[in-house]
Amino acid sequence: MSSDAANYGIIGAVTAKAVAVGQGASAVVNENSLPSRDDFDAALASLRDEIRALKLPAEHRNAVNEDMAKIEALAGDNPEAKPAAGALLNSLLGKLKTAGVILNTVAGFQAPIKLLASWFQIPLPF
C-alpha cells in the first residue's frame, strides 16, 4: 500500500441498509418485502375457502387437499422449508389446472396465490 493512500474507514456505530466507503465506492440495497405471517395465514385460509367452494371431482379434491395440508405443514417460518413448500404450491396449481380451474380468471384465487408465491419466493405461472 502506498504511503499516500487515504483511510476511508468508518469510526463509530453506523445504522444503515447499505454503506459505501471510499473513493469510487458504491452501495446497492436489494429488498424483498415479504408478507407478514398473518397475511400468509389469511391467504392460506382464503385459498382453502376458494378450493372448498369448487365443484371438484373427489379424486381432484383429495389430491388438492393433500397438497394444501403439506403446504400448511411446511409453511412455517423455517427458510429451509420454503423451496419444498413452493414446489408444493406449484404442484397444487397444476392439479387445479388439471381439474379445469383457470386460475388467472378466478378472482378469488389471484390474491392468495400471489401472496403465497411471494412468501415462498417463487415466480407465478400466470
Domain map (residue ranges) of the chain: 37-120
How many whole angstroms separate alpha carbon 37 and alpha carbon 44? 10
Query: What mean pLDDT comes out for the span 64-92?
Result: 81
Which residues are within 8 A (CB) of 23 and not within 5 positions of it... i.e. 6 or more apart?
Answer: 6, 8
Structure confidence at residue 6 (pLDDT): 62
| Residue listed under C-alpha cell 380451474 | 101
Q: Which of the two residues, 106 and 43, has the higher pLDDT score?
A: 43
pTM: 0.66
Tell me how far the alpha carbon of residue 3 is from its chain's centroid: 50
Structure confidence at residue 72 (pLDDT): 84
Q: Is 42 exposed, middle or buried (0-12, 13-18, 19+ CB in 10 A)?
A: middle
Q: Which of the two residues, 22 and 117, has the higher pLDDT score?
A: 117
pLDDT at 62 over 90: yes
pLDDT at 119 over 90: no
Query: What mean pLDDT comes out for the span 94-110?
Result: 79
Maximum separation of any 2 CA atoms in the chain, in Å:
79
